[in-house]
Amino acid sequence: MNISQTSLALQNLARRTFRTYALLLAIAIVSGAIFSTSTLMWGVNSSLNKGLSKFGADLLVVPKGSMISMKSALLTGEPSLFYMEGGIMEKIASIKGVKSVSPQLFLTSVDGDCCVMGNAFIIGFNPKTDFTVLPWLEEKKERPFQMDDVIVGASNSYNVGDTLFFYGQNLTVYGKLGRTGVGLYDNAIFMNIERAYVMAEQSHNTPNVKPLKLVRGQVSAVLVQTEVGAKIPFISFTISKDPDVKVITAGNIITSVRQNLVTLFGSTLVLSFVLILANALMISAIFSTIVNERKRELGILRAIGASKISIFKLIVSEAAMLTSMGGALGVFLGIVIMRVYQRTIIFNLKALNMPYLWPPVESIIMLASIAIAAAVVVGVAGAFYPALQGSRLQPYDAIRAGE
C-alpha cells in the first residue's frame, strides 16, 4: 500500500469520529481482555513449572488428612502445621527405586517480644540429606551452613548477614533463594531441623507464648527423590499402603492448579471468543455501510484510474489500521490495570492456591503482539467481504448510486 492510500485511509477514519472511537473502544475491550487473561494464565503456568522444576522432589509424603493444607502451603506459602512420626523415612528409603529422602518440619512464629515477626512460616530441614533448598541458593555467605543459620525466600525483606530471632534464639541469614513464584520457597524461612526441635522445646519455656505442639523426631513432610528410570507410580502405591500417610506428586499439584485456572478463566476466555466473533460481524456490517456511503467516492477513484485491487486494499487497510490501534490501546489499558491492581490480583490468585510470577518482558511483548495481531486479523476478516464488494463497483454505476 503506498503513502497516498495510507493518508486516504486515515482521512476516512477521521471523517466519522464517533464511529471510529466506538469501534476502537470495542476492539480495545476485547484485546485487553484476551491479553490480560493470557498474561495471567502464562504467569501462573510459568510460576508453577519454574517452582516445581526447582522443587527437586518426585514425591511428597504427608500425614493423612493434611493433603489440602500441604498443597496450600506449597503453592501460597501460608503456614500449615501437621506432624507424623519420622520413622516413616526408613520405610520409604527401603523401597526399590528411591534414591534419597529428606524431612521437613513446619513451624510458625508468634507475635510478641520472643519473635522478630509473627506468623512466619519456619521450615526445618536436614542439610545433610537436603536436595531442595541448598542447591537453589541465589545469595549466600562464603562458608558452610551452620546450626544457627537460616535461609530466607525471595519474598522476605531480610538480606544475607541480617540477624533474626525466634523464641529467644538469635539466627543469622546465611542465604537467600531465587524467586520462583511458588509460595513455599518464596515466603518461608528455612533452618536446620535440629535447631527447629530446640526452638520448639524452647517455646515451652517462653513466658506468655503458646508452646509449639510437637516432639523431637516428628516431621511434617518427607521429600522423596527417585532414581532415573524408577517407576514412580509403583513407589507412590507402595508408600500409600501406609494408612497414616498420603502421597503428593508434581502431577497432582499441576492438575489441581490447572483445574482452578479453567474454573477462573474459562468463562472469560469463552466470553472473549464470543466478543471476537461479535466484533468481526460488527466490523463487517459497519464497513458494508461505509462502502454504501462512499459509493460515489469509490466510483470517482475508479474513474481516475484506481484499480480494483487498490480499492480493496484501501478498505482493508482502514480496517487494519483501526483494529491495530484498538488492539494496542487494549494492551496498554490491560498492562496499566494489571500493574495498578497487581497486589490484589496476586492476593486473589493465592487465595485460590495459584502461584503467580509476572512474565518476563519478552513474554509480555510476545503476548501483546499476539493480541494486537489477533485484533488485526479479526478486522481484516470482517472487512474482507465489504472490501470485495467495493472493489467490484463499476465507476459509472457507483457515481450514480452515490448521488
**For 37-95, how does the pLDDT look when each residue is reduced to its tens digit (9 = 90+)?**
888 888 877 776 766 666 678 899 999 988 888 877 777 778 889 999 999 999 999 99
212 versus 12: the higher-pLDDT residue is: 212
Q: Which residue has the higher pLDDT, 306 or 148?
A: 148
Look up residue 215 and give its three cell numbers.
516432639
Same-domain check for residues 302 and 392: yes
Q: How many domains does the chain have?
A: 2
End-to-end CA distance of the chain: give it in Å, rounded.
Answer: 28
Q: Are 184 and 74 in contact (CB under 8 A)?
A: yes
Name beta bridge partners: 105: 124
For the stretch 316-343, pLDDT in tens is: 888 888 889 999 999 999 999 988 888 8
Considering 242, 269, 294, which residue would you say is the last residue of a domain? Answer: 242
What pTM, to 2 d.p., does this model score?
Answer: 0.66
Q: Which three cell numbers, joined as nine digits, stand for 63?
A: 500425614
pLDDT(403) > 60: no
Greatest distance between any 2 Cα atoms in the chain: 101
| Burial per residue of 66-92, b for 16 or more beta-carbon CB atoms within 10 angstroms, e otherwise | bbebbbbbbbbbbbbbbbbebebbebb
Is 36 found in the same domain as 113? no
Q: Is 287 exposed, middle or buried (0-12, 13-18, 19+ CB in 10 A)?
A: buried
Q: Phi then psi for 2, rounded to 5 degrees?
A: -85, 175
Query: Would the pLDDT of 149 be above 70?
Result: yes
pLDDT tens per residue across span 213-236: 888 999 999 999 999 888 989 999
In a domain, 168, yes or no: yes
Residue 1 has pLDDT above 60, yes or no: no
Assess whether 69 and 37 both reside in one domain. Answer: no
Note the pLDDT of residue 101: 95
User: 159 and 93, same structural domain?
Assistant: yes
58 inside domain? no
Query: What band does 237 get if pLDDT is binned at 50, 70 and 90?
Result: very high
Q: What is the pLDDT of residues 246-262, one digit of tens each?
A: 998 877 776 666 666 66
Distance CA 170, CA 148 (A): 7
pLDDT of residue 301: 67
Cα distance between residue 175 and residue 184, in whole Å:
16
Q: Residue 18 contacts by C-beta under 8 Å, 6 or more apart in sequence?
A: none
Same domain, 190 and 279: no
Question: Distance of CA 91 to CAs 42, 80, 238, 241, 291, Å?
Answer: 39, 25, 10, 11, 78
Q: How far apart are CA 280 and CA 83, in angstroms?
A: 58
Share of the chain above pLDDT 70, in %: 82
Q: Is the same domain home to 44 and 134?
A: no
Angstrom distance (rounded) from CA 306 to CA 108: 77
For residues 69 and 153, membership in a common domain is answered with: yes
Same structural domain, 263 and 231: no
Cell for 350? 493465592
Q: Which pLDDT tens digit goes with each residue over 156-166? A: 889 999 999 88
Residues 27/330, Cβ–Cβ less than 8 Å: yes
Q: Is 195 inside a domain boundary?
A: yes
Amino acid at residue number 88: I
Place of cell 497516498: 4
| Cell numbers representing residue 139 in the block | 545469595
- 269 part of a folded domain: yes
Do 124 and 231 reside in the same domain of the chain?
yes
Q: Do residue 77 and residue 156 come from a single domain?
A: yes
pLDDT (0 to 100) of residue 167:
84
pLDDT tens column, 168-209: 789 999 999 987 767 778 889 999 999 999 988 888 877 777
Kindly state whether residue 55 falls inside one of the protein's structural domains: no
- What confidence score (pLDDT) does residue 217 get? 92
Q: What is the 3-state secondary structure (H, E, C) of the chain?
A: CCHHHHHHHHHHHHHCHHHHHHHHHHHHHHHHHHHHHHHHHHHHHHHHHHHHHHHCCCEEEEECCCHHHHHHHHHHCCCCCCCEECCHHHHHHCCCCEEEEEEEEEEECCCCCCCCCCCCEEEEECCCCCCCCHHHEEEECCCCCCCCEEEECCCCCCCCCCEEEECCEEEEEEEEECCCCCHHHHHCEEEEHHHHHHHHHHHCCCCCCCCCCCCCCEECEEEEEECCCCCHHHHHHHHHCCCCEEEEEHHHHHHHHHHHHHHHHHHHHHHHHHHHHHHHHHHHHHHHHHHHHCHHHHHHHHHCCCCHHHHHHHHHHHHHHHHHHHHHHHHHHHHHHHHHCHHHHHHHHHHCCCCCCCCCHHHHHHHHHHHHHHHHHHHHHHHHHHHHHHHCCCHHHHHHHCC
Q: How confident is the model at residue 240 (pLDDT cuts 50, 70, 90)?
A: very high
Q: What is the pLDDT of residue 3?
A: 47
Q: What pLDDT is recorded for position 400?
A: 58
**The length of the chain, given as a count of residues:** 403
Last residue of a domain, one of 190, 208, 242: 242
Please tell me the predicted confidence (pLDDT) of residue 158.
Answer: 92
In whole angstroms, what is the distance from residue 64 CA to residue 85 CA? 12
Tell me, what's the pLDDT at 127?
95
Examine the domain organization and report whether 105 and 211 are in the same domain: yes
Pair 327, 195 in one domain: no
Inside any domain, residue 249: no
Per-residue confidence (pLDDT) for residue 112, from 0 to 100: 74
Of the residues 181, 207, 242, which one is the last residue of a structural domain?
242
pLDDT at 24: 87
The string of pLDDT tens digits covering residues 95-134 is: 999 999 999 999 988 777 778 888 889 999 999 999 888 8
Provide the domain limits for residue 375: 3-50+257-401
- Is residue 216 within 8 Å of residue 195, measured between CB atoms? no
Confidence grade of residue 402 (pLDDT, cut at 50, 70, 90): very low
Model pLDDT for residues 348-394, shown as the tens digit of each residue: 776 665 667 788 889 899 999 999 999 999 888 888 887 777 666 66
- Assigned domain for 296 exists: yes
Q: Is residue 247 part of a domain?
A: no
